[in-house]
Amino acid sequence: MRSSSTPVPLRSTVEDLSRRALLAAPFALAACDRFASAQTAPRHVPPLKSFAPCPVGTCVMTGQIRDPQWVDLVSTHFSQLTPEWEMKMEYILQEDGSRRWDAPDRIGAFARDFGLRLYGTTLIWYAQDHPWFNALPRARFGAEYDRYITDVVARYRGKVVGWDTVNEPVAEDGNGLRDSVWSRNLGADGYMVRAFQTAHAADPDAVLFLNDYNLENNPRKGATYLRLVERLLKAGAPIGGLGTQSHLDIEIPAGQTAAFFRELAQFGLPIHVSELDAGLRSDRRIDLRSDAERVRQQTARVAELTEAFVALPPAQRFAFTIWGVRATDSWLRRGDKDDGKDSPVLFDDAGNATPMFDAVAGAFRG
């Protein structure tokens, strides 16, 4: 899950539009001025969840559930919610080792009241360099690790359908695994096997996912992730599903995402597109692409990913989650990242459907 680091882009001068992108092109061209000026003309679009071949998710923070427009969009188009960060250790675990449950409980109640599935993220993440765990004597570390996972999973047993059990374990460049407080104390693979086993004991019915990002963007990282899955399964980890965050680089070569999904599907496990977005901005010092060209690249890459997901056997389509409802809800539009122009999700600042919505909807309909 992206909150502080941006996926490393892979650049390509080759850009082939997919069939879905061509179908969506009229919408994309009509939206170019929208991208440039953030002015939109509302148009009716059908509820995405009404024709999606799987649960359609988005992320939530408690402040958003007081926003009537956000609530209307979520209740109309989505069927699953993931807490963006208020179910992470950073929120739940306090400096004295106690637990804080107010925000995740509120999100759970909101999901229940609106008939939405609740998906949990994240139990163990390399970035959780928590001072309470750092202060533990080594003899207590494993027991407290187990206790934390058990406390969280057991509290939401029967309420959460699945968990990002281990999040982002693969190194940024794909060369091996990340170093973390967990790997240093429990072993590089050992902390992951233990997390899955402990979470499964706390809720045998929850689907437990290994989740990571840049798997489509960086083939080397995707390959390392696939080898890790194979290794953990052989070690007895009860992995129930595979999560790919899908923060897409719109300039990756056509066909690269579809190829990765074919590899991912070979395990036969449910797959979760867990945090989809596709920013229109670039890291280039000089970017001569027109707004229209950026939108065409975005819709082509999003269409390819959605088509690859829809092509999976029904049992492998766990959920398709968009990381943000409106453009202004996206992590890509926060702080110094926000130039007021990016449109990386399905709805714009005003809550109107974007060309990316059309790309996803077109692939869902087939």
pLDDT tier for residue 248 given thresholds of 50, 70 and 90: very high
Cα distances (angstroms) measured from residue 133 to each of 146, 197, 222: 12, 20, 30
Hey, what are 326's tokens?
């409106």
> Where residue 2 falls among pLDDT bands split at 50, 70, 90?
low
- Give the mean pLDDT of 39-50: 80
Amino acid occupying residue 66: R
Q: What is the pLDDT of residues 99-130, one digit of tens each?
A: 999 999 999 999 999 999 999 999 999 999 89
d(CA 210, CA 244): 9
Distances (CA, A) of 36 to 107, 185, 244, 294, 339: 34, 50, 30, 11, 11
Inform me whether the pLDDT recorded for 41 exceeds 90.
no
CB atoms inside a 10 Å sphere around CB 204: 10
Percent of the chain's residues with pLDDT above 90: 83
Give me the mean pLDDT over the 65-93 stretch.
Answer: 98
CATH architecture, domain defined by 51-365? Alpha-Beta Barrel (3.20)
| pLDDT band per the 50, 70, 90 thresholds, residue 4 | very low
The residues pairing with 353 across neighbouring beta strands, listed in sequence order, are: 347
> What is the chain's mean pLDDT, rounded?
90
Percent of the chain at pLDDT > 70 equals 88
Per the document, the length of the chain is 366
Give residue-wise pLDDT tens across range 57-68. 999 999 999 999
Question: Residue 24 above 50 pLDDT?
Answer: no
Write the burial class of residue 270 (CB in 10 Å: 0-12 exposed, 13-18 middle, 19+ buried).
buried
What is the distance between the alpha carbons of residues 150 and 148, in angstroms, rounded to a whole number?
5
